[in-house]
Amino acid sequence: MRRSILLAGLAILALLPGTGTAADNPPRAIATVGMIADVARNVAGDCVQVDALMGPGVDPHLYEAKSSDVRKLRAADAILYAGYSLEGQLGNVLERLGADKPAVAVSPASIDTGELISVQDLYGIDPHVWMDVSLWSKIAPTIADTLAGIVPDCAAAMERRAAAYREQLAALHQWVADSIATIPEQQRVLVTAHDAFGYYGRAYGIDVKGVQGISTDSEAGIRDIQRMVELTIERDVPAVFIESTINPRTVQAVIDGAAAKGHEVTIGGELYSDAMGNEGTADGTYIGMLRANTMAIVDALGGTTAPWPAALADWAERWEQNEDA
């Protein structure tokens, strides 16, 4: 009798507000890369569990999905990916999975093609849109709309969070622009391992040169390296940059080539290009990724970072970052 009463009581508790499975087991969304996942987490709050398929140091251009990845994608309630071939062959899998669940390519769904950079290769469009904060902020409402489809009760709250997050990103965008503007014009050139910073250069007024092209699926040739050597000498570039997802040997070849011709150039730091930093750290957030990149670039090329925006003070406090940047 006592057991029956207990079971009946548990059944009643399960029906009470706040104790059901919607709160304890929220819907799950899978984002292919961290730059999407972090925006989605800021928009979703506690309404949706958001996981990133590819972690720090993973190159999405070369990523090959494992069977366990496909199982995760199939089990997810929604899928968010960049599109424009960033995810390589995985893009075909994502499109097929979209037949029975929301699977949204956030860049094409959010940003007019007239605002994107066209490239003369298999991509057609440069997929590294997150390097322009003002453009990337446009994916927040798209994500809110997508996730509202799997948790309608949270639609209004997610819309508000998306708007608030876009205000933070507007402040970040201006901070990056102000910081880059302090670099002496002659030295305002960013040499990196591959051409992932085109949107960054266009948005913030810095000349960007990649040893490799848009993708990393082909090696840089001797001519590419020699071209970069000549550029660093001509522009008196003091530093070049490696990337967290790419072997640094091509950048080192540029440094060695410049040294052989009497020009000293150093490694200015490691930039986040196709992946963010470690999860649970400041650099493992989208804001932190752009902050770390900008600070490294400005410091190495002779500029001074602008004061950190008041609109991002809460972010700095949460991640224990110096607001003086």
> Are the CB atoms for 229 and 257 separated by under 8 Å?
yes
CA distances from 82 to 14, 136, 234 (A): 38, 11, 36
Tokens describing residue 31? 């984002």
Residues 67-77 have pLDDT tens digits of: 999 999 999 99
Q: How many CA atoms lie within 13 Å of 298's alpha carbon, on the beta-carbon side?
A: 22
Residues 105 and 81: their CA atoms lie apart, in Å, by 5
CA distances from 178 to 35, 247, 293, 295 (A): 23, 31, 14, 12
Distance of CA 247 to the CA centre of its chain: 19
Residues 60 and 215: their CA atoms lie apart, in Å, by 9
Beta strands in 173-313 (DSSP E): 189-194, 207-212, 239-243, 266-271
Which residues on neighbouring strands pair with residue 50, listed in sequence order? 29
> Are the CB atoms for 290 and 133 separated by under 8 Å?
yes
> Are the CB atoms for 251 and 211 separated by under 8 Å?
yes
Residues 141 and 235: their CA atoms lie apart, in Å, by 41
What is the reported pLDDT for 14?
Answer: 32
In one letter, which amino acid is 93? Answer: V
Q: Which residue has the tokens 């040169």?
A: 209
Length of the chain: 325
What is the reported pLDDT for 117?
Answer: 95
> Strand, helix or coil at 267?
strand
DSSP result, 111-144: S-GGGSPB-SSTTSB---GGGSHHHHTTHHHHHH
32 secondary structure, DSSP code = S
Report the topology of domain 177-318. Answer: Rossmann fold (3.40.50)
What pTM does this model have? 0.88
> What residue segments make up the domains of the chain, in order of their start?
2-175, 177-318
Q: According to the CATH classification, is domain 2-175 in 3.40.50.1980? A: yes
Which residues on neighbouring strands pair with residue 81, listed in sequence order? 105
62 burial level (CB within 10 Å; 0-12, 13-18, 19+): middle
* Residue ranges of the chain whose pLDDT lies below 70: 1-23, 121-123, 213-220, 245, 247, 325
Tokens describing residue 85? 């071939």
Q: At what angle do helices 286-300 and 155-180 cross, to 10 degrees?
A: 0
What is the reported pLDDT for 325?
Answer: 67
Residues 162 and 78: their CA atoms lie apart, in Å, by 17
> Are the CB atoms for 130 and 99 separated by under 8 Å?
no
